[in-house]
Structure 1
Amino acid sequence: MYLPAQFDARDRATALAVMREHPFASLVSVDDDGLPFVTHLPVVVEERGPVELVAWCHCARPNPQWRHLQARPRARLVFQGPHAYMSPSVYPDLARVPTWNYLAVHCVVEARLVDEPQEKDALLKRLIAQHEPAYARQWIDLGEEFQRKMLAGIMGMELRVTQLQCKVKLNQHRPESHAALHAAYAAGSPDEQALAVWMQRLGIAPADADGAR
């Protein structure tokens, strides 16, 4: 993605926070016609040691994307964080234009297909643990035969992250706008409020700023 230096967030913890707080990602690969093919799916991100990141997910078996990845394992995984319009009214002068602020993470990944039933079961349990831990008991109680049928209907994927980009566009290079921008976002929509919180987290607005949530 286009990544000007002022918006290039090189802090790994920031990228991980965006990925984990917004786990519904877009997996982009290349189909047999050479065109992008996109699947939207929930992802669990795990750290392996101090450097390696792995994302786990699955798709329906009729989805052709896993076959694309079988032939061409390299793909891109995109996480979209909060985003919102920014009015030029946050500036003290009028010679300004509006823009859109947002957080996003792009990963280049190498895909490994996960089709062995026990490994797929472990993958599903990662998702269960992230989204609804109490469901784990219900999943077990459904019985092995039902579980096998459900597992046969999906293809799991282990996505090893080989490149990571995190873009934080919060007008951080224009400090004259920060106080008014934070106040506007803190009083706005859920996405705007989330951006106000990120402004505080990253020190763009003070932690005790008025309107903080």
Structure 2
Amino acid sequence: MFIQPWDAGLDAAEWQTWIAGGHDFGLLSVNGLPGRAPVAVPTHFTSDGPDLLVHLARPNPVWKAVENDPNVLFTVFGDYAFIPGPWRAKAGTPPADGVPTSYYTAVQFTCHAHIIDEPEAKAELLRRQLAHFQPDGDHAPVAVGRPPYGRMLPGIRGLRLEVTDVRAKFKYDDHKPVEQRTNVADRLTERGQGLDVPTARQQLRRLDRTGPWKP
């Protein structure tokens, strides 16, 4: 993932706060077997300290790829929007001369994957995930040998992704003039399509922290 200096995360707390704010779905990317394409799996995840936890169906083709090479990437992205060219035109130039772009946040984790097959360890992984996604506890106990989850455990495998590096990108035109960034955020809010509003929030949040871009 290419990151311009003005798009880089300001500190670790920035991406950690963004992830904790409900961004818990990502793309697991694994090197393919020799002569085969890479394997990419969209999935929810939860955190356990610095590690990421995932579970997938046993028939998933990702397992052979992970066993062959446990060095994987996990990418989370969001708060994205297409920015039309006229919104980015320089002051005093024709609007049609503006060049369009995309705004987005992306956090990419480089990980070493550890497969979890022991039944109680898989049950504990599911308990942690349910505690995150269903914190009200409105589900049956997850226990080995006890329905409904007990009979399903053999059909899944778990992954503990040991994070070795994190790269965060917040692409919101931080290098552009303050007035232009504010104007784009206003236009996004007014348009209000898809993720326009959260994208505008990210741009204004970064603007509040950085002000005019300084190399």
Taking structure 1 as the reference length, what is the TM-score of the superposition? 0.85
Deviation at 1:147, TM superposition (A): 2.1
Q: 1:14 to 1:62 in 2, by over 3 A?
A: same
Deviations 1:34-60 (A, max 9, x none): 42101111011233xxxxx21001110
Deviations 1:72-104 (A, max 9, x none): 110000101111011233343334211111111
Deviation at 1:6, TM superposition (A): 1.4
Tell me the residue number matched to 1:117.
119
Residue 77 of structure 1, aligned match among 74, 78, 85: 74
Whole-Å Cα distance in 2 between the matches of residues 128 and 184 of structure 1?
38
Residue 203 of structure 2, aligned match among 179, 191, 199: 199
The one-letter amino acid paired with 2:151 is: K
CA contact (8 A) 1:178 1:204 kept: no
Tell me the residue number matched to 2:2.
2
The one-letter amino acid paired with 1:88 is: G
Q: Is 1:189 matched with 2:202?
A: no
**Which 5+ residue runs of structure 1 have no aligned equivalent?**
48-52, 207-213
Residue 168 of structure 2, aligned match among 166, 169, 173: 166
Tell me the residue number matched to 2:180.
177
Q: 1:173 to 1:64 in 2, by over 3 A?
A: same
Residue 38 of structure 2, aligned match among 26, 36, 49: 36
Whole-Å Cα distance in 2 between the matches of residues 89 and 180 of structure 1?
11
Whole-Å Cα distance in 1 between the matches of residues 5 and 171 of structure 2?
11
Aligned residue pair count: 200
SS for the counterpart of 2:135 is coil
| Larger mean Cα displacement after TM superposition, 92-101 or 112-121 | 92-101
The one-letter amino acid paired with 1:116 is: E
**Which 5+ residue runs of structure 2 have no aligned equivalent?**
211-215
Deviations 1:152-197 (A, max 9, x none): 1110000011111111100111024112111012222241100111
| Larger mean Cα displacement after TM superposition, 9-18 or 110-119 | 9-18
Deviation at 1:22, TM superposition (A): 1.8
SS for the counterpart of 1:126 is helix
Moved over 4 A (4+): none
Tell me the residue number matched to 1:50.
none
The one-letter amino acid paired with 1:177 is: Q
Deviation at 1:19, TM superposition (A): 2.9
The one-letter amino acid paired with 1:174 is: K
Tell me the residue number matched to 2:84.
87
Taking structure 2 as the reference length, what is the TM-score of the superposition? 0.84
